[in-house]
Structure 1
Amino acid sequence: MTISTLLFVLAGVTLGQVVGAVPGLSAPMAIAIAVPFTFALSPLAAIAFLIGVAKGGTVGGAVPAILLNTPGTPDAAATAMDGYPLAKAGKPLKAMKMALFASLTGDTFSDIVLILVAAPLAVVALAMGPVEITALITLSIAVITGLVGPSMAKGLIAAGLGILCASVGIDPEHGTPRLIFGNYNLYSGLPISAVAVGMLATGEIITQLATRYHAGHSPLAISDDGPSGDRRVSWNEYWACRATMLRGAVIGTLIGALPGLGSTVASFMSYGMARSASNEPETFGKGNLHGIAACESANSAVMGANMIPLLTLGIPGNVTAALIIGAFMVQGVQPGPLLFQSQGQLIYSLFGAMVIANLLNFLVGLVGLRIWARVITAPSSVIFPLTLLLCVTGVYIAEGNVLAVWILIAFSILSVVMRIFDLPIVAFIIMFVLANQFELSLSQALTILDGDPTNLFEHPVALLLVAISLLSVWIFGIRLPSKARKRAAALNT
């Protein structure tokens, strides 16, 4: 509860809302750029700042979705279905406030779940040995590559590239250098700040500049004329959406706790279920408050739930969690079950920071909604060059050498190439972060099993995880693509 920590949380929330409100930018991009600048901060201030950015970005992403019908973040695409029609009907402030209230509700729910279940799950995780951890990461790879890309094959290619790039540096098992090409700066591996910024921020900016990004609509004007009820959400309106928000919060929490699905899936799933449960489904898509509440409560609930596998197992569920793991590593802290033993004060301080970030998200959102409505009018010719400058400056400051800038440029090019071939960036980033842990656990597991696969029967938990992994490969890699091909063939005939 120091002033400096609270100010960093406030700064993170404000930055996240601003970035989320700018079409073309997103919270993961902001986190990737901010990670190098947190190097000089204490672990608590750094992580609390980045969590504030992530939470604020979710709220900010709803602003262009409602006012421009151009989502600031992918998970806000569902919000635009009802937010934009309501704004066109002369109620943009009502739509944005409903998004803010629902976002706060879902986020708070998932944070409470995180605080309650994280420590017990960490105790369970401590009982897992290298064999179980290897099987768990294998399951994560199967699920992530099957869900985040257009096909499992492309997801595996992206994951393989991530593992290859992570192998640069010192071998975690034997301590021998690999792929450093005589450059001592690479002994510690490729800097995660340069890789993340290149893949997420500069690569996306280059792609958008190449396609001459333009917003498709002029922002809707916010006026103080008209009935006061069109500019606010009453308690009765909020309370009428309680079941919708609770359903969305539960969906977001469950999906956020699983690797690979993400907030976009949660948002659309919650919207679909809200429409199915409604007595007036025909009003959805025409400015129904329940549609906004369903989407925003679900995509915000993913944030807290994503921290469950991150803190207890050291496994990121999406790209935001992967970047936060990178920030932990920059601070010399290794996420995982041992963190609760060795850094208990840090963990529960982060929990407190998350709760405070929710409150600040609400206050900043109430004050800033009108301001963010002006932010979205900023021209991309100003936003993108400034963002590129921040990317290069941040990476150079963090690593202290020009090599990091060249690595940033190289991975920006790789990001553009991967986008051209539709290879999922998320799979690459997550596997880049997990690769060293996976390699070390795999080598230890092979030693424990003595190279004999039948010894796996002595580890029933690992055997179950491997079986689920094979089932995931069959579902996502064979069964679902086969059904898709059959549907396509039927439509063609």
Structure 2
Amino acid sequence: METINYLIDGFGVALAPHNLMFALIGAFLGTLIGALPGLGPANGVAILIPLAFTLGLRPETALIMLTAVYAGAMYGGRISSILLNIPGDEPAMMTCLDGYPMAKQGRAAEALVISAVASFMGSLIATIGLILLAPLLADFALTFGPAEYFALFVLAFATLGGITGKNPVKTILAASIGLIIATVGIDISTGTQRFTFGVLKLYEGVDFIIAIVGLFAISELLFFIEERAGAGREAIKVNKLKLSWKDIVHVLPTTLRGSVLGFVAGVLPGAGASLGSFIAYTLEKKVLGKKGRFGEGDPRGVAAPESGNNGASSGALVPMLTLGVPGSGTTAVLLAMLISFNITPGPLMFTQNADIVWGVIAALLIGNFLLLLLNIPLIGIFVRLLSVPPMYLLPMVTMIAFVGIYAISHSTFDLYFMIAFGIGGYLLRKLEIPLVPVILGLLLGPEMEKNLRHAMQLSNGDWTVLWGSGLAIGLWAVAILGLVLPVFVGPMLRRRMKAGVQSD
């Protein structure tokens, strides 16, 4: 009953005219960003964070808008997968398997509508799961002490391999870089300067927003210039819609199964939308067997991965909001935005900032309907965007990043700092070192250090306190599994996903 009351209050926040307007803007921009191959939801959210500060948005309004961008980008990723056979991001890879064959058969509109409905169902079911599960997990997390929180942070870093899908050694190296950057500034316990080199701007540490916009937006800009500076690619022509309710009902069981699987994958820290998409598609092939025509343009081959990856994207908000541990790369960026507003995600957020939490959850429910209404009538607009040459899009992205960062602090130093992070991010990506662990190390490093010191003070320096409770031992065990499993499972998963796309 208490949850229902909180949700009603959340709808009061989400339905405020300005919040509803920014949710609509975020959903539209997110879909546009998701439709552009390579950008993805993490880059989209990172690019638009400065806009939230430039407009002077309140925390709940900013989070509602950026969460809508996140959901919209997950929707939009299917457009280039179906029309160009180029996934908007990694979770959309599985959609290429049957979406592109449908487009070549002249059924592009049907594929786009089925994917929109499946995305809607996946996100809706996952949001309902978030409503039911998040308060319980938040209450459970209130039993955590400093040692348990430190183990939880270790778990977050150990499962990074699942989020990034990269070489575990490079993932650990990237996280270490982030942790090193997190030590810059004044030591909160001793007041000692650490790695400031006498620069006054570094006394308060490295600003999360500058680092995120530089690493994601500016480095993406450099890659855009290097790899896609030519003309846009012409998409397959979208035919008139001939989809019936019978076709929707036909894929409904597939959509429901994929939604539940995706939500479970999203809740597990480090699993992410890629796993949700993959297991939903794989399970559906096993369930249907020879009854399906997977890889040849089966609509259920579009519905399964789309419901799975959108279910996972909403499910990833559960560990972020309740534990302060991001379940995906995009939620890591959202975590940074919350911290920049002096809001600490975690169990106390449900009591100290209940209006923000439940406002965002209610906005997710509303946003799903907005996205469905946007995605079906405006398919033509989103499709035309794919043929726009990047030379026209790049200046807009650059302008948003620079104006947004300057508007936050009115400091040219921050602009140079952002460019430095952008160049650093570009070099890391050239070396195939993922950027999300860098951000996560920068975000979680201070809290991780604080809890470690607190645990040591309470135990008079006894290190065994870090695994002195059953809960801590359980977290350490899951962390070890999270570190080891990607070494064996990750390469196999990526090989099978890529092999499926290439064989198409």
Under a length normalisation based on structure 2, what TM-score does the superposition of the two structures give?
0.90
Task: Measure how far apart 1:162 and its partner are.
Answer: 0.7
Deviation, structure 1 residue 234:
2.2
**Counterpart residue number, 1:139:** 155
Shift in Å, 1:152: 1.7
Aligned mates of 2:166, 2:36 — CA distance in 1: 27
For residue 49 of structure 1, report the CA deviation from its aligned partner: 0.3
Query: In structure 2, what residue type is equivalent to 1:285?
Result: G
Q: Is structure 2 residue 288 aligned with structure 1 residue 272?
A: no
Amino acid at match of 1:367: P
Determine the C-alpha separation between the residues in 2 that align with 1:86 and 1:215. 25
3-state secondary structure, aligned to 2:159: helix
1:10 pairs with one of 12, 24, 37: 24
Aligned AA (1:293): A
The match for 1:453 is 463
Please name the residue that 2:244 is paired with. 234
Q: Is the 8 A contact 1:21 1:372 kept in 2?
A: yes
Residue in 1 aligned with 2:380?
370
Deviates more, 1:212-221 or 1:278-287: 212-221
User: 1:19 is matched by which residue type in structure 2?
Assistant: I
Q: Secondary structure at the match of 1:273?
A: helix
Residue 125 (str. 1) matches residue 138 (str. 2):
no
Aligned partner of residue 190 in structure 1, secondary structure: coil
1:214 Cα deviation after fit = 5.8
Of the structure 1 ranges 298-307 and 260-269, higher mean CA displacement relative to structure 2 is found in 260-269
Paired with 2:287 and 2:139, the residues of 1 have a C-alpha distance of: 38
Q: Secondary structure at the match of 2:181?
A: helix
Q: Give 1:353's match in structure 2, choosing from 357, 363, 381.
A: 363
Counterpart CA distance in 2 for 1:386 and 1:217 is 19
Query: Equivalents in 2 of 1:429, 1:20: separation in Å?
Result: 21
**380, 401, 405: which one pairs with 2:411?**
401
Corresponding position: 1:36 with 2:50 = yes
**Conserved in 1, the CA contact under 8 Å of 2:220 and 2:426?**
yes
Using the alignment, how far apart are the partners of 2:490 and 2:30 within structure 1? Answer: 37
Indicate the residue corresponding to 1:244 in structure 2: 254
* 1:72 alignment counterpart: 88
User: Which amino acid is the alignment partner of residue 179 of structure 1?
Assistant: F
Q: 1:423 aligns with which of 429, 433, 443?
A: 433
Q: Offset of 1:358 from its aligned partner?
A: 0.6
For 2:419, the aligned partner's letter is I
Do 2:34 and 2:74's aligned partners in 1 also have CA atoms closer than 8 Å? yes
Q: CA deviation at 1:457?
A: 5.7
3-state secondary structure, aligned to 2:376 = helix
Shift of 1:128: 0.4
Aligned to 1:211: 227
The residue that corresponds to 1:227 in the other structure is none
Cα distance in 2 for partners of 1:330, 1:417 equals 26
Q: Following TM superposition, by how much is the alpha carbon of 1:307 offset from its aligned partner in structure 2, in angstroms? A: 1.1
Q: Please, which of 127, 132, 151 is the counterpart of residue 111 of structure 1?
A: 127
Matched with 2:206 is 190
Deviation, structure 1 residue 480 = 6.4
Deviation of 1:12 after TM superposition, in Å, equals 0.3
Residue in 2 that maps onto 1:23: 37
Unpaired runs of at least 5, structure 1:
225-230, 485-493
| Separation in 2, partners of 1:44, 1:393 | 22
Alignment partner of 1:303 out of 305, 310, 313: 313
Change beyond 3 A, Cα 1:482–1:420: closer
Contact 1:158-1:427 within 8 A present in 2 as well: yes
Are residues 456 and 393 of structure 1, via their aligned partners in 2, closer, same or farther at CA, if it must alter by over 3 Å?
A: closer
- Once the two structures are overlaid, the 10-residue window that deviates more, 233-242 or 357-366, is 233-242
Range that drifts further, 234-243 or 32-41: 234-243
Structure 2 SS opposite 1:367 = coil
Q: 1:460 to 1:216 in 2, by over 3 A?
A: same
Is the 8 Å Cα contact of residues 70 and 215 (structure 1) preserved in structure 2? no
SS of equivalent to 2:289? coil
CA gap 1:361/1:171 in 2 versus in 1, 3 angstroms: same
Match of 1:51 among 47, 62, 67: 67
Per the alignment, do residues 281 and 215 of structure 1 end up closer, same or farther by CA in structure 2, a change over 3 Å counting?
Answer: farther
- Return 55-64 or 180-189, whichever deviates more: 180-189
Q: Which amino acid aligns with 2:167?
A: S
CA distance in 1, matches of 2:340, 2:463: 37
1:206 maps to amino acid? L
Say whether the 8 Å CA contact 1:168–1:186 is kept in structure 2: yes
The residue number in structure 2 matching 1:437 is 447
1:350–1:282 Cα change, 3 Å: closer
Is 1:98 aligned to residue 114 of structure 2?
yes
1:217-263 per-residue CA deviation (whole Å, 9 max, x = no partner) reads 53111243xxxxxx143222222222211221122111111222221
Structure 2 Cα separation of the partners of residues 104 and 482 of structure 1: 30
**For the Cα contact (< 8 Å) 2:233–2:386, is it kept in 1?**
no
Q: Is the CA contact 1:145–1:427 (under 8 Å) kept in the aligned structure 2?
A: no
TM-aligned CA deviation for residue 331 of structure 1 = 2.1
User: What per-residue deviation string (whole Å, max 9, x for no partner) do you get for residues 85-129 of structure 1?
Assistant: 111111111110001000000000110010111111111111101
Alignment-derived partner of residue 499 in structure 2:
none
Q: 1:150-206, CA deviations, whole angstroms, 9 ceiling, x for partnerless residues?
A: 322111100000111121123233343322222222222211111111111211221
Cα drift, residue 149 of structure 1? 4.4
SS at match of 1:283: coil
**Following TM superposition, by how much is the alpha carbon of 1:70 offset from its aligned partner in structure 2, in angstroms?**
1.5
1:482, distance to aligned residue in structure 2 (A):
11
One-letter amino acid of the structure 1 residue matched with residue 390 of structure 2: S
Aligned equivalent of 1:488: none
Deviation string 1:295-352 (CA, Å, 9 cap, x unpaired) is 1101111222111111111111122111111221222211111111111122111111
Q: How many aligned residue pairs are there?
A: 477
For residues 277 and 492 of structure 2, what CA distance do their matches in structure 1 show? 24
Identity of aligned residues (%): 32
Using a 3 Å threshold, how does the CA distance of structure 1 residues 119 and 481 change in structure 2: closer, same or farther? closer
Shift of residue 66 of structure 1? 1.0
Q: Is the 8 A contact 1:162 1:428 kept in 2?
A: yes
Distance 1:393 1:207, change over 3 A: same
Residue segments in structure 2 that go unaligned for 5+ positions in a row: 1-14, 494-504
Maintained 8 Å contact 1:23/1:215: no
TM-score for both structures, normalised by structure 1: 0.92
